[in-house]
Amino acid sequence: GAVVSQHPSWVICKSGTSVKIECRSLDFQATTMFWYRQFPKQSLMLMATSNEGSKATYEQGVEKDKFLINHASLTLSTLTVTSAHPEDSSFYICSAPASTGSQETQYFGPGTRLLVL
Amino acid sequence: QQQVKQSPQSLIVQKGGISIINCAYENTAFDYFPWYQQFPGKGPALLIAIRPDVSEKKEGRFTISFNKSAKQFSLHIMDSQPGDSATYFCAARGGTGGFKTIFGAGTRLFVKA
């Protein structure tokens, strides 16, 4: 199946710094990617839809100035957590749809664990 | 309208038993209902999915039952194994949301050896 990678897999940073997370579709092109956040023992909450060549679409309650999304190419989307604070500590997961046979399937990355001290 | 409700929150099943997880949705525009399996520290992986024009889909030990009129669907894991111990999420997408996938709250399954 299609593969989505994320980098880094985990990151620890100081409060107030910015952290960039990359999401790549390795063997297919994705004009759209999605960013999710998952707190411990909770479900995945959609943060935003990343669109290649245009602005990202953010879900209600997600600060677009804090979570900057750039869909630089058909295989790369980046999420930058600006001025990170401890409450931003979470598991961030991206996904991208790809065609497999007759249907399109959503493939998820392995996630990036962020810890803000 | 966008919610997907999932139960139970946690489930303990004996090895060889049947695990059943239930979900209900509200948005009738949803047209694709996947189930994901997630192990700790990993991203979710697609397990099986169904479209509303089918009432049941089986892949190996995993079966989805779909009741369109009740807006409910369920996952059955037959002959549950300790290796099945994970968190399972039902999800839904479609309508004006396109590929946006809405997840249920998740069910933590533990299969006792």
* pLDDT for position A72: 86
pLDDT at B1 over 60: no
Per-residue model confidence as pLDDT tens for chain A (117 residues) = 679 999 999 999 999 999 999 999 998 999 999 999 999 989 999 999 999 989 999 999 999 999 999 998 999 999 999 999 999 999 999 999 887 665 678 899 999 999 999
- For chain B, give the percent of residues with pLDDT over 90: 88
Q: Are A66 and A79 in contact (CB under 8 A)?
A: no
Query: In this structure, what token pair is assigned to residue B88?
Result: 């399972």
The set of residues, in sequence order, having a beta carbon less than 8 Å from that of A67 and lying 6+ positions away, is A35, A47, A48, A58, A79, A80, A81, A82
E-only strand ranges, chain B: 4-7, 10-14, 19-25, 30-38, 45-50, 56-59, 62-67, 72-77, 86-94, 101-103, 107-112
Give the pLDDT band (50/70/90) at residue B96: confident
Query: In this structure, what token pair is assigned to residue A17?
Result: 């710094």
Summarize pLDDT for B9-62 with one digit per residue, the tens.
Answer: 999 999 999 999 999 999 999 999 999 999 999 999 999 999 999 999 999 999
Query: In this structure, what token pair is assigned to residue B70?
Result: 């009740």
In B, minimum Cα distance to A97 occurs at: B99
* pLDDT for position B68: 94
Q: Which chain A positions have a beta carbon within 8 Å of B36's beta carbon?
A: 108
* pLDDT for position A49: 94
User: Is A104 within 8 Å of B44 when comparing Cβ atoms?
Assistant: no
User: Is A44 within 8 Å of B100 when comparing Cβ atoms?
Assistant: no
Nearest to B43 among A45, A105, A111 (CB): A111
Residue B13 carries which side chain, given as an amino acid letter? Answer: V
Task: List A residues 31-60 in contact with B (Cβ-Cβ < 8 A).
Answer: 32, 34, 41-46, 49
* pLDDT for position A100: 65
In A, minimum Cα distance to B48 occurs at: A105
The angle subtended at Cα B98 by Cα A22 and Cα A101, nearest 5°, is 80
Please state, in angstroms and as integers, the Cα–Cα distance from residue B106 to each residue in A41, A45, A85, following that order.
8, 12, 27
